[in-house]
Structure 1
Amino acid sequence: MSIAVTPHLNFRGDARAALEHYRAAFAGEVVAITYAQMGAPHDPAQADEIVWGQVTAPSGFRVMVYDVQSDRPFSRGDNPFYVSVRATDPQELEAAWPRLVEGGQVLVPLGPAQWSARYGMAVDRFGITWVLDVEPTA
């Protein structure tokens, strides 16, 4: 038996762009359903926004997103969570890093760390803080 933890990121109108950004960064596939496809937009202006979306990649990367309905409160907050991506192969992170940080802000450049062969921290262009590292072997 196993349990998988998948970050579920909430947006207000940016979920589709976020899906495409994460798809490109991690070479994944997107599945998305809009409010219109579900048949229940609270606000007709949100019909093409994402009620449920997910990126999955062969590497095991997975993230879910949605656009919060306009009639519900929403605040990104100030750094309420990090999304941690841990790999066993440094090359996986090195491939994803430049695409992930495109349009964002690098807080710690991807490189060797005391506990890991690679570690980096960045805020992407959607305001999500990411920490990437290679799983320690000992």
Structure 2
Amino acid sequence: MASTLNPYLNFRDKTREAITFYQSVFGGELTISTFAEFNMADDPAEADKVMHSQLTTPGGFVLMAADVPQHMPFTEGSSISISLSGADEAELTGYWEKLIEGGTVVEPLSKAPWGDSFGMAVDKYGVNWLVNISGAAPA
């Protein structure tokens, strides 16, 4: 089996809502496990929080996320961005439109100096997204 690298997002009490939102954007199969399912909830108030979730999309994307327990430090937002790139303009524009709903557009999805279409946004859960749609190959 080849090694893989997947984005893993952390939230404080918002994972179930956020990962379900990403499923509505990208489609795919979603699995969610709680702290209680693995007997990992020291605090009964955290039993139903998400210990691990994984979204596997029809296009082969894998996105994972979890709730950070109250006893662990957590700062919302980060220096991490998730990049979506490819040549399928309709597909990537569709993802962009869904991701910006309730979020903030940092750079509008538009023609970039390097010839591709590029946009930056922060979704309604504070996650940074970069979308790059390949332009026509130079002649």
Shared fold (TM-score, shorter chain, > 0.5)? yes
* Cα root mean square deviation, aligned: 1.9
Where structure 1 has 5 or more consecutive residues not aligned to the other structure, the ranges are none
Letter of the 1:39 counterpart: N
Find the aligned partners of 1:4 and 1:85 in 2 and give their Cα distance: 16
Letter of the 2:62 counterpart: R
- SS of equivalent residue, structure 1 residue 41: coil
Find the aligned partners of 2:114 and 2:22 in 1 and give their Cα distance: 26
Find the aligned partners of 2:50 and 2:18 in 1 and give their Cα distance: 11
Q: Segments of 4+ in structure 1 off by > 2 A?
A: 1-4, 114-118, 134-138
- Other-structure match for 1:43: 43
- Indicate whether 1:108 and 2:99 are aligned: no
- Indicate whether 1:92 and 2:91 are aligned: yes
Letter of the 1:40 counterpart: M
Find the aligned partners of 1:56 and 1:14 in 2 and give their Cα distance: 19
Where structure 2 has 5 or more consecutive residues not aligned to the other structure, the ranges are none
Among all aligned residue pairs of Structure 1 and Structure 2, give the percentage whose two residues are the same amino acid: 37
- Greater Cα shift, 9-18 or 79-88: 79-88
Using a 3 Å threshold, how does the CA distance of structure 1 residues 52 and 96 change in structure 2: closer, same or farther?
same
CA radius of gyration, larger in: 2
Scaled by the length of structure 2, what TM-score is found?
0.88
- Greater Cα shift, 11-20 or 90-99: 90-99
Aligned residues: 137
How much does 1:85 deviate? 1.3
Find the aligned partners of 2:75 and 2:118 in 1 and give their Cα distance: 29
- SS of equivalent residue, structure 1 residue 111: strand
Per-residue deviation, residues 72-96 of structure 1 (Å, max 9, x unmatched): 111125x421111112311211111
